[in-house]
Amino acid sequence: MVNSLSFWLAADRRTRFVYALTSALMAWLAFPPYNLSLLIFVAWVPLLLTEDQLFYRHGKDTGRHILLWSSLHFLLFNTLATWWIKNAAWIGAIAAIMINTFLMSAVVYAYHRVKRSSGERTAWPVLVAGWMAMEYLNLRWDLDFPWLLMGNAFAGNPWMVQWYSATGVPGGTLWVWIVNLLVFTGIRSLLLRGGMQGEERTNQGWLAFRDLFRAIVILIFPLLASLYLHQTHSEKGVPTIEVGIVQPNVNPYNEKFKADTEAEQLENLFWLSDKAIGPETRLLLWPETSIPGLVWLPDSTGNQHQLQQIRHRLSYYEGVSLLAGASTVTDLGMNPPDQPALRRQAGGRGYIAHNTALWMKNGEALGVYHKSRLVAGVEKLPYPAFFGLINRLISVDLGGMSGQLGPQSQRSVFTAGILRVAPVICYESVFGDYTTGYTRGPEGANLIAIITNDGWWGETDGHRQHLAYARLRAIENHRYVVRSANTGISAVINARGDVLQQLPWWKPGWLRLRVALHNEQTFYMRYGDYLGRLGCFLFVLLLLASWVQSKSHQRRRL
């Protein structure tokens, strides 16, 4: 095979760099906001071609070359797709890009090692299962940053993945890698065919046709199924309510968290709320940390000025429930026991800070939910035993309550009559399986409300991607999503993932729209990331099998 590939294996470093740049560009353009989603089905073919070239060209001394060139592919991709994190903090951008690059490259390295020890046909499922296991880990460990899950590439084209209600985003990841592998083997056979004669040439042509045909079938069938589900979606007989959404547009860097602007911020919220509320409105949505200042919990005395004003204003909106974000503090009294998020005042009084969603109706506080999927380095210190030594380097102050925040062990669902609302705060909306925890079961939420503040990233891809990922949560849970963002983009998304209304970026405004309250349970809601769990099991099993096979071969040689 090496001889027949000699014309191709002569590719130099510049050629491999072009491969890396091509992969990164195609993958980047497949993701929101560019939404050229079909590119993701061939984006990693140049990576697979590079690995194959190095596999045959470098022989046993190939591991470091695979790590080098696969890291270049993924470093370029991650940089293009998430460079905007640097607007909040350079250290955060560098950490996210480097960690994701390492995780992705490690999967390709494992694929290469198994390919060398057990053959290509065993290595292909290792690549797919390993990638799914890596994404499953990236949703659950303390350094979680699942922004670039491969299945997220379809967030801007939800009509393509209506079947995420059965598989979630892991189903898209599986789809992407199977098609990429089939296209790779088809193209490789075409390249081999060019250096052959007679029957060998005919055989390679047939193999190329077979694999490319399979790739087209596996690509088209889910698309047709998804299009059918999208077109046949019905909301007949589903109860509805009217929702008002406020986008105050307060600059998070130099205005939002300053004490001398609190009164003005509150008046702006009231003014926009008056416009957003109509005679039939039952839910009013304010964004993350929208309530100015700090709210001390429990608010048993009711003497906090900003809450008094909000209660008074809500008393005029009969039947309207308010879901609003706030920076809150739980008072633990004098000399509390040590715990991860504990902070202390002078004199020993302890407290815990939270990023919170407050639920109010008719002037009364009815519910509290503290954000639980916290941003590493901003709202939580990952692996404190290790990173505690460099806390000052990785901690980013974004105003309000940053640093180590207190999470909530159980999700809260806020209710008002037939309405059951999932209060999803900012970063939590990127986690598909976590969001299903709000909607799962007979008492689960029938509406997903996302409150966020995306102004940290400025006018970049970040806030557009964040909005797009909310469309996938709508499909997975078959629920409407209402989204209030401080600086944009506030929106209403239906259960198919279609954006029905939205406000422009960096402009104050309001929305009012009727939304359907779906109550059915999707397969993905019931079973969560079962494909990710299966990927973890298969990855470990295949690695063990490959190791046993390799040891067996070594013994035979002896």
pLDDT tens-place string over residues 385-404: 676 655 545 444 444 445 68
Rounded to an integer, the average pLDDT of 411-436 is: 96
| Pairing mode, strands 481-485 and 491-493 | antiparallel
pLDDT for position 317:
87
Co-location of 150 and 285 in the same domain = no
Can you give the pTM of this predicted structure? 0.92
CA distance 288 to 274: 19
pLDDT for position 302:
53
Q: Which of 85-99, 192-206, 346-360 has the lowest mean pLDDT?
A: 192-206
pLDDT for position 196:
73
pLDDT for position 390:
52
pLDDT for position 391:
52
Indicate whether 110 belongs to any domain. yes
Runs of H (alpha helix) within 424-518: 432-439, 461-477
Co-location of 391 and 267 in the same domain = yes
Co-location of 251 and 198 in the same domain = no
Co-location of 170 and 44 in the same domain = yes
State yes or no: pLDDT of 448 exceeds 80. Answer: yes
pLDDT for position 292:
92
State yes or no: pLDDT of 430 exceeds 50. Answer: yes
Question: Who wins on pLDDT, 132 or 397?
Answer: 132
Indicate whether 191 belongs to any domain. yes
* DSSP conformational letter for 382: S
Backbone φ, ψ for residue 483 (5° rounding):
-130, 120
pLDDT for position 3:
41
And the tokens for 334?
A: 């004098």
Read off the CATH number of the domain in which 394 is found. Answer: 3.60.110.10
Indicate whether 558 belongs to any domain. no
**Considering only CA atoms, which of 489, 493, 431 is closest in space to residue 457?**
489
Omega of the bond leading into 489 within 30 degrees of 0 (cis): yes
Q: Which of 61-65, 204-208, 376-380, 388-392 has the lowest mean pLDDT?
A: 388-392
State which residues form the domain around 279.
240-517
State yes or no: pLDDT of 6 exceeds 90. Answer: no
* DSSP conformational letter for 292: E
Dihedral of CA atoms 222, 224, 225, 231 in degrees, nearest 10, equals 140
Rounded to an integer, the average pLDDT of 463-490 is: 97
Co-location of 337 and 372 in the same domain = yes
> Mean pLDDT score of the chain, rounded to an integer?
90
- pLDDT > 90 in the chain, percent: 70
Indicate whether 522 belongs to any domain. no
And the tokens for 336?
A: 């509390």
416-446 b/e (C-beta count within 10 Å ≥ 16 → b): beebbbbbbbbbbbbbbbbbbbbbbeeebbb
State yes or no: pLDDT of 283 exceeds 50. Answer: yes
pLDDT confidence of 60, banded at 50, 70, 90? Answer: low
Question: Who wins on pLDDT, 192 or 324?
Answer: 324
479 contacts 453 by C-beta, under 8 angstroms: no
**Distance from the Cα of residue 518 to its chain's centroid:** 23
And the tokens for 346?
A: 């002078």
- pLDDT > 70 in the chain, percent: 91
Indicate whether 398 belongs to any domain. yes
Indicate whether 293 belongs to any domain. yes
pLDDT for position 403:
63
Indicate whether 556 belongs to any domain. no
Backbone φ, ψ for residue 316 (5° rounding):
-85, -20
**Considering only CA atoms, which of 319, 287, 301 is closest in space to residue 423?**
287
Q: Which residue has the tokens 């950490």?
A: 95
And the tokens for 280?
A: 């039939």
- CA angle 235/239/242 to nearest 5° reads 105
CA distance 509 to 490: 9
pLDDT for position 314:
86
Co-location of 324 and 224 in the same domain = no
pLDDT for position 244:
98
Co-location of 192 and 274 in the same domain = no
Runs of H (alpha helix) within 90-237: 90-118, 120-138, 164-167, 169-193, 198-232
Rounded to an integer, the average pLDDT of 67-96 is: 94
Co-location of 330 and 181 in the same domain = no
Rounded to an integer, the average pLDDT of 402-412 is: 85
State yes or no: pLDDT of 483 exceeds 60. Answer: yes
* Identity at 27, one-letter amino acid code: A
Co-location of 405 and 434 in the same domain = yes
CA distance 257 to 330: 19
pLDDT for position 557:
63
pLDDT for position 539:
97
pLDDT confidence of 123, banded at 50, 70, 90? Answer: very high
Rounded to an integer, the average pLDDT of 186-210 is: 86
Task: Provide the domain count of the chain.
Answer: 2
Co-location of 200 and 219 in the same domain = yes
| Pairing mode, strands 343-344 and 349-361 | antiparallel
**Considering only CA atoms, which of 470, 473, 476 is closest in space to residue 490?**
470
Rounded to an integer, the average pLDDT of 508-518 is: 98
How do residues 290-325 score in pLDDT, each as one tens digit?
999 888 887 644 557 888 888 888 888 888 999 999
pLDDT confidence of 556, banded at 50, 70, 90? Answer: low
Q: Which residue has the tokens 């422009």?
A: 504
**Considering only CA atoms, which of 335, 427, 305, 325 is closest in space to residue 370?**
325
Co-location of 78 and 226 in the same domain = yes
Runs of H (alpha helix) within 333-449: 384-387, 391-394, 432-439
How do residues 216-232 score in pLDDT, each as one tens digit?
999 999 999 999 999 99
* DSSP conformational letter for 505: T
Co-location of 282 and 208 in the same domain = no
pLDDT confidence of 486, banded at 50, 70, 90? Answer: very high
Question: Who wins on pLDDT, 404 or 24?
Answer: 24
CA distance 149 to 131: 10
pLDDT for position 482:
98
Tally helices (H) and strands (E) across the chain. Answer: 17, 14
Give, to the nearest 10 degrees, the angle between helix 90-118 and helix 530-557. 50
Question: Who wins on pLDDT, 557 or 232?
Answer: 232
State yes or no: pLDDT of 2 exceeds 50. Answer: no
Cα distances from 179 to residues 28, 39, 166, 223, in angstroms, run 18, 11, 20, 13
Indicate whether 524 belongs to any domain. no
pLDDT confidence of 200, banded at 50, 70, 90? Answer: confident
